[in-house]
Structure 1
Amino acid sequence: MNTVLDIKGLQVAYGKVEALRGLDLTVRENEIVALLGNNGAGKSTSVSAVSGLVRPRAGTVTAFGEDITRATPWSIVERGIVHVPEGRRIFSRLTVHENLQLGGYTVRDSTSIDKRIDQVYALFPRMAERRDQQGGTLSGGEQQMLAIGRAMVAGPRLIMLDEPSMGLAPLIVAQVMDAIVSINRAGTAVLLIEQNARAALKVAHRGCVMESGRVSVTGSAAELRADPQVVEAYLGA
């Protein structure tokens, strides 16, 4: 299985605060990797470093065999890596359809954009029903679906999702996780950042637990679900 993303020895600091302290992480083709950990563990910083939003002071990020450690955020999207940030960050005054169209800003073929938007509407029928509705009037779950859908219009080979279940009702969480599985089965690798470890490990192939800016435990999803320390810390006894 080919490697999609390979992070080695990544270090990121905000002033004197070390957010990442030698992070090592790999995502392979057709894989969902869950990145777990408490607040402050460095999960969001990890994906921000991959997407070029923060600059590491040491270490490397390699994607599809190419060093992207110093690449610009827009060129990283063009390479097929899309980041869905925590908090959704949709354009509240634009309609659902306009938000989705903006997801294709790096795509030069308008036919491809239209086809991908149709695929998003098939994946999230609720978005099709609300295509002319302003993004800011959607529920939290609908906004999350829109954020994921907008990312898919870019045609990613790797999608990084930062806390997609945050603030959502359990039924909506299940729908979002089902959509993530569908996206993965269609050929997109997924790096899933989650505090909801139980939901994440139900859909992931592998999991990594972050503590203090580095990965402390890694293994298959089944192995992590059976690990007493992971159960106690993240899944509940």
Structure 2
Amino acid sequence: MTTLEVRDVDVYYGRVHALRGLSFTVEEGEIVCLLGNNGAGKSTTMNLLSGLVRPKAGSVLWDGMDLAAASPWNIVSAGLIHVPEGRRIFSTMTVHENLLLGGYTVGDQKKVAERLDQVYSLMPRLAERRKQQGGTLSGGEQQMVAIGRALIGGPKLLLLDEPSMGLAPLVVRQVMDIVAAVNAQGTTVLLVEQNARAALKIAHRAYVVETGATTVSGPAADLASDPRVIEAYLGG
């Protein structure tokens, strides 16, 4: 079953045509990556899926639910949970408190407790720093908190916007390993990344987004060897 289907979507910011007939799909169980440079429309796509911007044309369907007409909080309740660019954790709250916020829409506190244990098992460093304030963490640790907070909500589709931004190469690998592990445990992932090399290593399929439209798509391994992708995104 197709988990997510975006078809011929146009989005405008005033007179700026940000998405131009954007189309892609995400199947259940996949990691799908959207690649592209700054200004290509990747973050606008994430905001579209989260209900933060509305399409002027086209359709956005999540297992039959029309996301274009849904409120952001109903989208979260339906299982689409967005880890925004820049992490946006609460700097004066502890790691544990930040994680608990991810369970705000979860009515079952036993389920929240179980997911907390799973997050601490997946990312032991967060367990070590559970009483530490978010603002004192490294960039990689803050990214782990942001991902962990989303996992507490029980996502069916995890939306990750530039999780490697500003991180050292070793930390990027650690974060990507966490994303792959989350997927292996059954969560579908849509990953927006400028770091094409890191993203293509863990993704099943990928799309290149340029000026608000998908221009190249296919299995991640194929894109990693595509001369157009190599020249534009892999430094070759």
Could you tell me the TM-score, scaled by structure 2's length? 0.99
Query: Quick check: 1:203 aligned with 2:194?
Result: no
Partner residue in 1 for 2:123: 124
CA-to-aligned-CA distance 1:10-69 (integer Å, 9 cap, x gap): 111111111101110100011000100000000000010010011111111101222121
The equivalent of 1:44 in structure 2 is 43
Structure 2 Cα separation of the partners of residues 64 and 133 of structure 1: 39
Q: Hey, what's the Cα distance between the residues in 1 that align with 2:160 and 2:210?
A: 19
Structure 1 residue runs of 5 or longer lacking an equivalent are none
- Write the letter of the residue equivalent to 1:233: A
Distance in 2, Cα, partners of 1:65 & 1:51:
16
State how far apart, in whole Å, the 2-side matches of 1:65 and 1:124 are: 34
Task: State yes or no: 1:178 paired with 2:159.
Answer: no
Mapping 1:49-198, distance limit 5 Å: 49-198=48-197
What letter matches 1:24 in structure 2?
Answer: S
Amino acid at match of 2:106: V
Find the counterpart in structure 2 of residue 225 from structure 1.
Answer: 224
Say how many residue pairs are matched.
Answer: 236
Q: Give the TM-score, by structure 1 length.
A: 0.98
What is the identity, as a one-letter code, of the residue corresponding to 1:158? L
In the TM superposition, structure 1's runs of 4+ consecutive aligned residues that sit over 3 Å from their partners are: none
CA distance in 2 between counterparts of 1:47 and 1:192 reads: 9
Residue 236 (structure 1) shift = 1.5
Measured after TM superposition, the shift of residue 204 of structure 1 is 0.2
SS at match of 1:69: helix
* Pairing 1:214–2:213 present: yes
For 2:152, the aligned partner's letter is V
CA offsets 1:98-156 (integer angstroms, 9 cap, x no match): 11110000100000001101111011101000101111111100000000000000000
| Whole-angstrom distance in 2 between the partners of 1:23 and 1:225 | 22
- 1:114 partner SS: helix
Superposed CA RMSD in Å reads 0.6
Deviation readout 1:77-97 (Å, 9 max, x if unpaired):
000000000000101111100
Matched position secondary structure for 2:68: coil
C-alpha distance in 1 between matches for 2:72 and 2:65? 15
Alignment correspondent of 2:27: 28
Query: Which runs of no fewer than 5 residues in structure 2 stay unpaired?
Result: none
Amino acid aligned to 1:27? V
Query: Which SS does the other structure have where 1:224 is aligned?
Result: helix
**Structure-1 separation of matches of 2:19 and 2:180:** 28
Aligned mates of 1:25, 1:123 — CA distance in 2: 30
Q: Which residue of 2 aligns with 1:14?
A: 13
Distance 1:149 1:185 in 2: 15
For 1:65 and 1:28, how far apart are their aligned partners in 2? 13
User: Which whole-Å CA distance do the structure 2 matches of 1:66 and 1:168 have between them?
Assistant: 35
